[in-house]
Amino acid sequence: MGTKGRAIVGIDVDNLLDMLNKALADEWLAYYQYWVGAKVAKGPMRGDVVTELMEHATEELGHAELLADRIIQLGGTPLHKPEDWYKMTNCGYEVPEDPYVEVLLEQNIKGEQCAIDVYQQLTELTKDADPVTYEIVLSILTDEITHEEDLQALVEDIELMKERK
């Protein structure tokens, strides 16, 4: 922890750390949901869907990395135990029991929409009070917005393909 770096934060740091750890829980669950979804996916445009899901998995892991580093900088501890992911998550985990591509995509769209809300709240909270965290959560928010759009574009393409048959 940098003591001066923590002291300049203009909001309750412990509350911020709690919110960052909750977002970290979301990112790990999102990572696994994408990763395992890419393994089991079946249906039209499987190749394109798998490529997108794997890309997003990698990006969610990158978000976890950014959050964990900032948590440590602020004197916090990133969640230690996978069981804490379920206890702390905002957005939960959608079990990919049905491997059909459109079902997986809808589950992941739901997750992205939740993530957009979470990072929108974090950007509002940190905007003036903590510009360093703000920059991190803004970059993650931008990624989540791209993720939602990518997934919705795939659903649209699958629907168009079905209509034109």
Gyration radius of the chain over CA positions: 17
Among Mg ion, Fe ion, none, the one that 130 touches (CB under a kind-dependent 5 to 8 A) is none
Among Fe ion, Mg ion, none, the one that 150 touches (CB under a kind-dependent 5 to 8 A) is Mg ion
**Closest to Fe ion by CB, 52 or 144:** 144
Question: Residues 130, 144, 154, 158: which binds Fe ion (CB under 5 A)?
Answer: 144
Question: Residues 24, 107, 147, 154: which binds Fe ion (CB under 5 A)?
Answer: 147
The number of angstroms, rounded, from the C-alpha of 28 to the middle of its chain's C-alpha atoms is 8
DSSP character string of 32-77: HHHHHHHHH-BSTTHHHHHHHHHHHHHHHHHHHHHHHHHHHHTT--
Among Mg ion, Fe ion, none, the one that 60 touches (CB under a kind-dependent 5 to 8 A) is Fe ion
Residues between 63 and 102 that touch Fe ion (CB under 5 A): 63
